[in-house]
Amino acid sequence: MPDDTTEFPYEVFLSHSAKDKAVARPLAERLQADGVKVWFDEWVLLKDEIRRLKAESELHHSYFILWLCLAPSGFATR
């Protein structure tokens, strides 16, 4: 455990596979209900960030990576 002078925003970082979300979510909720400050992706990250991280992790499971795929929607401005 850290000493009393160290400030941490979270007491627990709950690492889990997306496949285990159904188990991880109730655990995170139980820890939070017990007063533990939990970092849980759904509570901390925006949906866009979660999708981006998922896409980045899938790069490692692809044999080829097509870096440039031009389509009309790719040129749309926000």
Look at residue 53 in the predicted model and tell me its pLDDT. Answer: 77
Q: Give the angle 60-23-17 at the CA atoms, nearest 5°.
A: 10
Rounded CA separation 27/33 (Å): 10
pLDDT at 50: 76
Task: Find the mean pLDDT for residues 64-76.
Answer: 63
DSSP annotation string for 19-30: GGHHHHHHHHHH
Summarised one tens digit per residue, pLDDT across range 9-58 is 899 999 888 888 899 999 999 999 999 999 998 888 887 887 777 777 76
pTM of the full structure = 0.57
Q: What is the pLDDT of residue 66?
A: 56
